[in-house]
Chains A and B, each alone.
Chain A
Amino acid sequence: MRKRSLSPGDRLFEWSIDLFLVGVLVVTLVPLWYVVMVSFLPFGKSPSLFLAPWDWSFEAYAQLIFQPTIWRAALNSLVLTLGGVAISLTLTVMAAYPLSRRELPGRNLIVGLILFTFLFNAGLIPTFLVVKDLGLLNTYWSVLLNGAVSVYNLLVMKTFFQSLPESLEEAARIDGANDWQVLWHVVLPLSRPILLTIGLFYGVANWNNFFEPILFLSDRSLMPLPVVLRDILTGLNVAEYVEGTAAQAAPAEALKMAAVVLITLPMLLVYPWIQRYFTKGVLIGSVKE
């Protein structure tokens, strides 16, 4: 294909767009780069954007990674993330699919009630009471089930299901498929983009979950990574009366940034695998035709 010749004005315009986007890229990358650089900061050096390769220190990472509590916490986070994604996706699909069908009686009322919870939250204490009365305190279930379905994700998925051609479903029904078979054999195979996208949303939310574990869990061996990392960093501030080794081995800035990198890395690694579905999933789900 021959490239269309551009007028000088058009060329200038395109260059300005490129320049602007490069600017946006730099603005986005600089803080991330800074975080990574500072995480390798040795004692005696000031935080900066560039660190000579011979100045790099892995001490902050070593201090965090070799803490006896960290691997158990990572395992807890993994269980909570994978379990949370499985439960949340299952519940969201099972709620979104019927709500996307026009023939469901009382559909608008149900959607309205769900929306109500989106606008008006029950609050901390009532939520705690429900979790307690269900006997879920100090179990993974308290974290996994509380807020397992996000209304936003539910609505996005419902809209996606509505956008699927009804004729496909009708064809399946003519072949004798029931609701479950339609969902399993027709709808879900066509919904991979939205499942992966919403799954990533749930995954990130579960991986980063901090507040619910500290509220509902009292056994320290059940705590996920963000809570344990925070506890280690807490020691940096209270050397007046608390003994700590991490703060003596690496600068406070490096420890904080290394914790940020460690907590972010797993999600960053997953993201490229799902990225190609990401835009598609959200966009399709967001437009109702």
Chain B
Amino acid sequence: MKIGARVLCSLLLAAPGALAQANLTDLSVALYAANPEAPAPPANWEVYRLVREKLGINLRFTMLPTGADGDNRLGALAAANDLPDLFEVRSLALFDRLVQQGQLAPVNSLLPQMPKRTAERYSDARRNLLVTTNGQIYGLQEPVTLSRQYAIWVRKDWLDKLGLKAPTTLEEFFEVARAFTERDPDGNGRNDTFGFGGVIDFDTAGILPGLGLGNHFQWVYGAYGVAGTWNYNPKAFAANLRDPNFRRATEYIRRLVEAKVIDPDWATMRRADLRTRWQQGRYGMFFESVGGLQAGLQNFHANNPGAELLMLPPPKGPEGKSAMGTYSSAGWLYAVSKRAMDAGKGPAIARFLEWAHSGEGYFLLGWGRYKTDYTLPNNVPTINTQIPISVRGSYTQMRWLAFNGNPLEMRGRYPEINVGGRKYVMHQLMAQAQRQGNWIDRTGDLVVKAAANQADIERYVSENLVQFALGQRPISDASWGQFLSGLRNVRFEQYEEAAAKTLRESGYLK
């Protein structure tokens, strides 16, 4: 009898919980790790509890493997009709494929259900065109918040020591680079410094590398007015590489390489190697982001006492043109699986995203645990750096869903840093890099679908330009003509025609 009463009591006590459980919507969310060094959030993460109690959502968060492995995993999940309800896509080719396969749901109906988020993130009709097919918006295309944070940095202490001025033109850049290479600016008596450090890098958030040598050399092409892949000239639309100035820019890079003022490993190094080397003090000038600079300042000043860095505006070319590069205004991209929408999970997804956009959700996802991972002096989120990112980062693995680039956020993420007797106000440097870089908006590039042989096209152009720059092939009328005529072999004309048609249809080329 006693046992029976106990069972009855426990059933009665459990009933409201069971009912609440029944009303919960299961929501699987898969994102790329925001903090690769840190593990996933723990099972007792406050966010899981709050989302369950306040939004009626049983959240299940998984992290996608980085890079192409993440694409492979999403592709496999799609084939198994097992895509997460809400997930991040970093490859536009994969996104297009999922749309074609009918795996994604249009998100038009979600937008009015999350009014604040939509107003601030998804209301740009031009940007939404990037993810629109047959009039339906298939992705939640975020605006970019950290684009255009790249610049050429110069060692001001070396300039002063050698009695030089910061270069403003390509010719001055060449002379300064030569002096940094040949006149022992670090005074160690060894010939171990280089004028410029950059690498072939196509994979940088928010920057469009164009065809050829990647982001770190776009400023040279910008100085000749041919930065980016396309010229966007409505009367004579073509790839920039057909422009005679494209050859002149490549010849300039060849001059830098020939004069040995660029680190000779530039063609094979990775971005991480470049970072190590500028921190070691091997370069007088180098291409780096504000975020990358922030991460390396401590080491840089420890290795180079008395050093001072200055941000250079992009050097001007012979006709006075300059641009640090091209960029897209499109940031992270999220998609909703058709399966989730068919199961009626749309309202729950909108509820969760709206919650993540501001207030409690924004701070919990973006900054972690209040008074543990961060504090809010003067309303500026300030990270507690006493807790290592490998621990703190677990609680902000979903931060990209929350971050929106507001001024206070930028001040929190890019604070004032005092190191080596120098003061760096990182958010101001970020704004300066965006302002003075003369960046060219080429968001339209993203509506151009990749050619079936895109990898062949990119390889052909890149390999040829590397050969020209390294001097493995002399740059002459004959060899350049041969390079241009060889474009036919990779069906480049068709790619150009398709790009022109798509850009005109989408309104990016008028």
| B35 in contact (CB, < 8 A) | yes
Known A234-B66, A252-B273: A239·B296 in contact at CB below 8 Å: yes
Contact B37 A231 (CB under 8 A): yes
By beta carbon, the residue of chain A nearest B299 is A43
Interface residue? A67 (CB, 8 A): yes
* B19-65 residues at the A interface, CB under 8 angstroms: 30, 33-40, 62-63, 65
Tell me whether A67 and B37 are in contact (CB under 8 A).
yes
Instruction: Name the residue of chain A whose CB is nearest to the CB of B396.
Output: A243
**Shortest Cβ distance from residue B440 to the other chain A in the assembled complex, whole angstroms:** 19
List the one stretch of B248-256, B312-320, B387-395 in contact with chain A. B387-395
* Residues of chain A within 8 A of B388, CB atoms compared: 245
Q: Which residues in A have their C-beta under 8 angstroms from that of B205?
A: 238, 240-241
Answer whether A214 and B73 are a contact pair too, CB < 8 Å, given A231-B66, A240-B291, A252-B272: yes
Q: Which residues of chain A have C-beta atoms less than 8 A from B438's C-beta?
A: none
Would you call B37 and A244 a contact (CB within 8 A)?
A: yes
Residues of B close to A264: CB separation below 8 A:
none
Residues of A within 8 A of B76 (CB): 124-125, 128, 215
Interface status of B280 (Cβ within 8 A of chain A): yes
Which residues of B are found within 8 Å of A235, using beta-carbon distances? 35-37
The yes or no answer to A251 lying at the interface (CB within 8 A) is yes
B298 interface contact, C-beta 8 A: yes
CB contact under 8 A between A243 and B35, given known A44-B303, A68-B391: yes
Interface contacts (Cβ under 8 Å), in number, total 135
Q: How far is B82's CA from A226's CA once the two chains are assembled, in angstroms?
A: 26
Over the window 292-304 of chain B, the binary record of Cβ atoms lying under 8 Å from chain A Cβ atoms (1 yes, 0 no) is: 1011101100110
User: Could you say which residues of chain A place their CB within 8 Å of the CB of B103?
Assistant: none
Q: Does B3 contact A (CB under 8 A)?
A: no
Q: Which residues from B are CB-within-8-Å of A117?
A: none
Per-residue contact bits, chain A 251-266, to B (CB 8 Å; 1 contact, 0 not): 1110010000000000
Question: Are A234 and B36 also in contact (CB < 8 A) when A44-B303, A240-B291, A245-B390 are?
Answer: yes
Residues 110-128 of A, flagged 1 when their CB comes within 8 A of B and 0 if not, give 0000000000000011001
Q: Report the Cα distance A111→B378, complex, angstroms.
A: 74
- Contact in complex: B280, A237 (CB < 8 Å): no
A93 within 8 A of B: no
A interface footprint on B262-299 (CB within 8 Å = 1, 0 otherwise): 00000000111101100111100000010110111011
Per-residue interface assignment for chain B, residues 390 to 404, with 1 indicating a CB less than 8 Å from any chain A CB and 0 otherwise = 110100000000000
Q: Are A245 and B37 in contact (CB-based, < 8 A)?
A: yes
Whose C-beta in chain B lies nearest to the C-beta of A138? B62
Which of these, A132, A211, A214, A246, contacts B37 with CB under 8 Å? A246
Q: How far is the CB of B70 from chain A (nearest CB, A)?
A: 8
Q: How far is the CB of B159 from chain A (nearest CB, A)?
A: 22
B146 an interface residue at 8 Å Cβ cutoff? yes
Chain B residues closer than 8 Å to A80, beta-carbon distance: none
Q: B276 and A253: CB pair below 8 A?
A: yes
A248–B37 touching, CB < 8 Å: no
**A244-B389 CB under 8 A given contacts A44-B303, A128-B80, A236-B272:** yes
Whether a CB of chain B sits under 8 angstroms from the CB of A149 is no
Q: How far is the CA of A253 from the CA of B270 in the complex (A)?
A: 10
Within 8 A of B (CB), among A11-56: 43-46
Report the minimal beta-carbon distance from B303 to chain A, rounded to whole angstroms: 5
Alpha-carbon separation in the docked complex, A220 to B192 (Å): 43
A247 at interface, CB cutoff 8 A: yes
Instruction: Give the CA-CA distance A245 to B38 in the complex, in Å.
Output: 10
Interface membership of B72, Cβ < 8 A: yes
**By the criterion CB–CB under 8 Å, are B291 and A241 in contact?**
yes
Taking the complex as formed, is B79 at the interface, i.e. its CB lies under 8 A from any CB of chain A? yes
**B275 & A236 in contact (Cβ 8 Å cutoff):** yes
Which residue of chain A is the closest to B400 with respect to CB atoms?
A241
Contact call B62/A242, Cβ cutoff below 8 A? no
Interface: B204 (CB within 8 A): yes
Residue ID in chain A nearest B77 by CB atoms:
A128
Q: Could you say which residues of chain B place their CB within 8 Å of the CB of A221?
A: 39-40
- Which one of B270, B273, B276, B391 has the greatest number of beta carbons of chain A within 10 Å? B276
Q: Does B342 contact A (CB under 8 A)?
A: no
Q: Does A171 contact B (CB under 8 A)?
A: no
B501 nearest CB across to chain A (Å): 32
Q: Does A218 contact B (CB under 8 A)?
A: yes
In the complex, what residue of chain A is closest to B383 when comparing beta carbons?
A: A243
Known A124-B76, A252-B276; contact A241-B146, beta-carbon cutoff 8 A: yes
Q: How far is the CB of B198 from chain A (nearest CB, A)?
A: 15
Q: Is A227 an interface residue (CB 8 A)?
A: yes
B280 touches A43 (CB 8 A): yes
Residues of B within 8 A of A215 (CB): 69, 72-73, 76
Interchain CB contact (< 8 A) of B65 among A69, A214, A246: A214
A129 within 8 A of B: yes
Are A240 and B35 in contact, with the CB atoms below 8 A?
no
| Distance A251 CA – B205 CA, assembled complex (angstroms) | 23
Docked-complex contact B289 and A244, CB < 8 angstroms: no
User: Do the beta carbons of B79 and A129 come within 8 Å of each other?
Assistant: yes
Q: Does B149 contact A (CB under 8 A)?
A: yes
Residue pairs across A and B with Cβ atoms less than 8 A apart, 26 shown, are A43-B299, A43-B302, A43-B303, A68-B390, A68-B391, A69-B37, A125-B76, A129-B79, A214-B72, A215-B72, A218-B63, A220-B40, A231-B36, A232-B36, A234-B66, A234-B67, A235-B36, A236-B275, A238-B36, A240-B204, A243-B295, A244-B35, A244-B37, A251-B276, A251-B280, A252-B275
- 18 A-B pairs besides A43-B280, A45-B280, A219-B40 with CB distance below 8 A are A44-B303, A46-B192, A46-B282, A67-B390, A68-B390, A68-B391, A125-B75, A129-B80, A220-B62, A239-B291, A242-B34, A245-B388, A247-B296, A248-B295, A251-B280, A252-B272, A253-B273, A253-B276
A-B pairs with lowest CB-CB distance, top 4: A252-B272, A236-B272, A239-B295, A220-B40
